[in-house]
Structure formats: structure tokens, C-alpha cells
Chain A
Amino acid sequence: MKPNVLIIIPAYNEEATIVQVLESLQQECPDYQILVVNDASTDSTSQLAKTTGVAVVVDLPVNLGIGGAVQTGLRYATRNNFDCALQFDADGQHKASDVNVLVNMVLSGECDVAIGSRFVGDAKMQGTDFLRRIGIRVFEFLSILLIRKRIRDHTSGFRAFNRQALQFIKREYPVDYPEPEIVVLLARNKFVIKEVFTQMYSRQGGVSSISIFQGPYYMFKVVISMIMASLRPREM
């Protein structure tokens, strides 16, 4: 039986990389369905994704932010009864050959959520500047404090969720900078989260969702929402 897996690609103005990303995914994992969630891009991301014929493309009528786009994919996944949904960045940072590593971890029951992490094992923090490193360290510290679990790459957008985790997070998903908050929320509700090392390419196109000016706002927002997520009553 074919594994019933959905790859969710949130894309906002990623015309430089989207085709390449889709083609590499098609090559590495032809059995999985690919869903591109076009977050009201102003460039030709949507048309390019459609012409490849590899992916189903959902066009959001207004820009919702990365979290809102991913959540659309999560809704699609639960509605169409997928066993596993995987989030994959459209900017070509992740390796398509790592997809199966995450999917297998989830499908084998090893964990509910698998996070592809840059920093697990011996890997040094390459390709990140000083400020980003501080931020990532703060998140790591917070996760130890709040959920007694050391998550090293909170900001990674490379994640796989099993059916139960999908059901849980499709209801509640923050709109902007959702990744660290979701980890806290899931861990607090007893989902098993595992990190695995995945290679990261440096960004091949597009711009980071966090510019230098948004840095302080980003940190403030994420730290507050992580703490708040850990204070909410358990739902499961």
C-alpha cells in the first residue's frame, strides 16, 4: 500500500525556487501528494507551480502569513484523511532526500512530530548570523524550562506530523512565526517530538521572513507566545 503522505509547501513570492523544489520532491518521493499553499503571492509562484503539474495548488485570496498558509495545508490534510503531513519550505533550504527520514520516523510510530534540525549532533551553527544564534539559544533554553525538553532548532520549517498531531494543531495555529509556539503546545499536550539532523542549504532565493528590524518584535512575540502556550490548560 502506498503511504498516504501530504507534503505542504507554504509559498509567498517564491518564483525563483518553487519549480526546482517541486521537481526535486517529485524525483525523491513520487508517491507523496504535494500541496502548494500560495499565500497570495504577487509574483508568478502560483502559475509556475501549476504548470509543473506535480502539485495541487491552493491560492489564498489574501495574505495570511506563514502560519495561516501552513494551517490551510493542515486542514486539507485532515479533510482528505492523510496519515502524515510534512511541512517543506519553498525556498530550497531543505533537501528533498531528507523527506523520507522524517516521514518514516512519524509513520513507524517513533514519534508524533519529527523536526528536521540543523543543529542536532555535531553540526555547528553554520550559515546563521550572530543575532539569529542568540535567538535560537533563547528558544532552546525556554523549551528546557517550559516543557523539560531540549529542542535545538525551534525555527525549523521542516516538520512531519502524524494523524493525531494534525488533528490537534489544525484547530489552533498562530499566524506569524508559529514554529516555536507549536512545539511548546504539542509537547505540553503529550505529543512525542523528536529532532533529527537534516542538511540545510543556504537560502537560494526569496528573503527571510525575519528581517533585522523585525528581530526584537519577533523575539518578544515568540517568547511571550511560548510562555503563554505553556500556561494554557492541557487539551488532551
Chain B
Amino acid sequence: MDRIQIISIFASLLIFIGVLNLVRRKKLKTEYSLIWLAVSLVFVIFSFWREGIDKISAIVGIAYAPSVLFIILLIGIILLLIEFSIIISKQAERIKILVQEVALLKLDIEKNKVADEQKKSENISKSEESETVFIEKEK
């Protein structure tokens, strides 16, 4: 085993275990970790199984074998970015609906407040009386 293989095994395992650990500590939701895990697992496999890269590059017809790694990495990153865009779009839609609901609720609350205050000013003496009665009963 030469130096570069040891380094790549170490680095890819670090990423793989790091992602798993994030999921364990609930810093990363499982559903968002799948692509990360898949990509880092592929790297773990290829850092142990070096001939694999040569074999794949021969099958696909890539002259310079290590560029297979770059392609795998690129595909993984593109998939991740698309996933992020989807998530952002979903969240933007939800935030928009929440903002609209909050605004409409605020309007309702203000309306009720005005109505309540009118009622209160009418019944203020009555309610105070009944409250004291209520407290005395409790005792």
C-alpha cells in the first residue's frame, strides 16, 4: 500500500463516518444524508479497490483513469445541488404561505381586539363584580 492509498482511505472513511455521525447527532436529517453517504461510500470502495478505477475507465473509454473519480464526484455534487434547489423551492413556498397566514391572522386579531375593547368598556363594572364573587366562592 503506498502513501496516496492510505491517505485516500483515511480521508474517504473520515467523510463517510463524519456524515453518519452527523445523522446520529441529528445535525443532518437522514433523507438529506443519503446522497452524501452514497458518494462517500463510492470513494471508500475505490480507495481500497484501486484496480476498480482502471476497470471502469476501460469500460467507459476514459484514457486517464483518475478522471473517473472526478466524474463520480461531479455527478454526486450535481445531484446534491439539485436536491438543495428542490428543498429551497419547497421551503420558499411554505414560508410564503406562512407569511400570508400570519398577516391575515394579525388582521383578525386586531378586529377582535377592537370588538373586545368595546365590549369591555361596556361591561367593565359587571365583570369586576362577578370576578370578586367568583374568588370569594373559591375560598
A contact residues vs B (CB 8 Å cutoff): 37, 56-62, 64, 68, 71-72, 75-76, 79, 175
Q: Known A-B contacts: A58-B103, A58-B107. Give 5 more (CB < 8 A).
A: A61-B99, A61-B103, A64-B99, A72-B100, A175-B92
**C-alpha spacing A95/B106, complex, angstroms:** 31
Write out the residue numbers on chain B whose beta carbons fall within 8 Å of the beta carbon of A61: 99, 102-103, 106
**CB pair B103 A59 closer than 8 Å:** yes
Is B106 touching A72 in the complex (CB atoms < 8 A)? no
Interface pair A64/B106, CB less than 8 Å apart:
no
Cross-chain pairs A/B with CB under 8 angstroms, 29 sampled: A56-B107, A58-B104, A58-B106, A58-B107, A59-B103, A59-B106, A60-B99, A60-B100, A61-B99, A61-B102, A61-B103, A61-B106, A62-B99, A64-B96, A64-B99, A64-B100, A68-B96, A68-B99, A68-B100, A71-B96, A72-B100, A72-B103, A72-B104, A75-B100, A76-B104, A76-B107, A79-B104, A175-B92, A175-B96
Q: Distance (Å) between the CB of B18 and the closest chain A CB?
A: 35
In chain B, what residue has the closest Cβ to A173?
B96
Complex Cα distance, B110 from A59, in Å, reads 12
Contact flags (1/0) for B75-107 with A, using CB distance below 8 Å?
A: 000000000000000001000100110111011
Q: Complex: how many Å from CA A205 to CA B58?
A: 67
Q: Given the known A-B contacts A68-B96, A175-B96, are A60 and B107 also in contact in the complex, defined by CB atoms under 8 Å? A: no
A64 to B102, CA, bound (A): 13
Q: Which secondary structure characterizes the binding site on chain B?
A: helix
Residue of A nearest to B108 (CB): A79
Q: Chain A residue with minimal CB distance to B111?
A: A56
**CA separation between A56 and B104, bound complex, in Å?**
11
Q: How far is the CB of B32 from chain A (nearest CB, A)?
A: 24
Summarize A's interface: helix, strand, loop or mixed.
Answer: mixed
Q: How large is the interface on B (under 10, 10 to 19, 20 to 34, 35 or more residues)?
A: under 10
Write the nearest CB–CB distance from B88 to chain A, whole angstroms.
Answer: 13
Q: How close is B55's CB to chain A, nearest CB, in angstroms? A: 42
Which of A57, A62, A175 is packed against the most chain B CB atoms within 10 Å? A62
- Whole-angstrom distance between the alpha carbons of A40 and B107 in the complex? 14
- Give A214 to B96 CA distance when docked, in angstroms: 22
B100 contacts which chain A residues (CB < 8 A)?
A: 60, 64, 68, 71-72, 75
What 0/1 pattern do residues 37 to 58 of B give for CB contact below 8 A with A? 0000000000000000000000
User: Using Cβ atoms and an 8 Å threshold, which residues of chain B touch A62?
Assistant: 99
Cα-based distance from A71 to B103 in the complex (angstroms): 12
Complex CA–CA separation, A175 to B106 (angstroms) = 21
A44 to B99, CA, bound (A): 20
Bound-complex Cα distance A39 to B89 (A): 20
Taking CB as reference atom, which chain A residue is nearest B101?
A: A75
CA distance A129 to B62 in the complex (A): 54
Residues in A whose Cβ lies below 8 Å from that of B92 = 175
Chain A neighbourhood of B96, CB < 8 A:
64, 68, 71, 175
State in angstroms the CA–CA spacing of A79 and B96 once bound together.
17
Whether the pair B107, A75 counts as a contact (CB closer than 8 A) is: no
Q: How far is the CA of A71 from the CA of B93 in the complex (A)?
A: 12
Pairs A-B, 4 closest by C-beta atoms: A72-B100, A60-B103, A58-B103, A58-B107
